[in-house]
Chains A and B, each alone.
Chain A
């Protein structure tokens, strides 16, 4: 169990527009849905109506892409106000975003841009995480990004940065095992070391997804089935964390709902092994 006792919601999928009709009419036996926050913060139409219906029937977690927690522009207070309101409306179990920045000088490039991992970035990001957690009145959960660039000014590995950030800002971790795999290929590190090093008691959710191997690098495309290596990383991590809420991401060439759900349910085979107690992890390690 994580340090906040946030529940294991089981195996979920992302709530996507193309599946609205299926979800409302068939009421599939999905454990929970992850909702992209920004898709519902500024609409009063059909999407919000659907979300209200889904909220009545399924547990929800919010997942955002525009907080820009590592950005050097001031935090967007209006965004955070709307995010908090949406979390209340959906009774979200937690609110997550990404360890990244999305734009500066008032712009948003709508991408999860990479951070240098050094003391300056750590101090800066930790201060913002604390502010956001205070505004949202709940611990912020951050996802490890996939990335294609490494900065020369980095003095920490990504897993060291995440561990230190957890210690200094008391945030949760949404561990995307596909992102670990993608970045390990792109940057040439051992993904098992990453998996074995993140603070297990801060992991409150997993992401599993497919990617696109371009030969010279891997793109985090969320467009396919997950490869065996990613599932194995998931298994390896579950041994450390115990069973944690798991979500399968599929955002390009989205298949029929049943195909998506079947892919997500593969997680059962990897996480429902004989129960082992989570590894003892020093607080903040």
Chain B
């Protein structure tokens, strides 16, 4: 991996003397103002040494690399790990297979990569179709289905109340109520004409 820092706009290299300057500097490629902050982690891992090998008989070896000396034990399955296999996750030491399993079953909250916001979906189904006037007749039942099916499904990993679900529920009931009233009014009007 290159150690050079480049301008995000034109990919011209930013000279080292402009790193971590308090004021903006001018890019030589695009003449736009650039601010570069480089931290100690820059370059960590480039050319680093391999994990230590077993030298003394009786040393614990890595579960995945028998020739490497164990560095820690996995907190998920207890297997010994070398520094190559030790994955630091929120301060916990895990082996690659435990991390992979965590991603697959989504038990590991800090590994989740995406979530669907069913509450926003239900709310959209009850509001936007009103622009077409007759749309909610079809989408309100769909919204009710989404609400019932996903009421307990975890929403965003960020703070998020179920307020949208409640609002969608109210709107869906109102939507359907309006159509029921409309249908009754139509029937009464037809009967009065007859």
Q: Check if A and B associate.
A: no
Which residues from chain B sit less than 8 Å from chain A, CB to CB? none
Which residues from chain A sit less than 8 Å from chain B, CB to CB? none
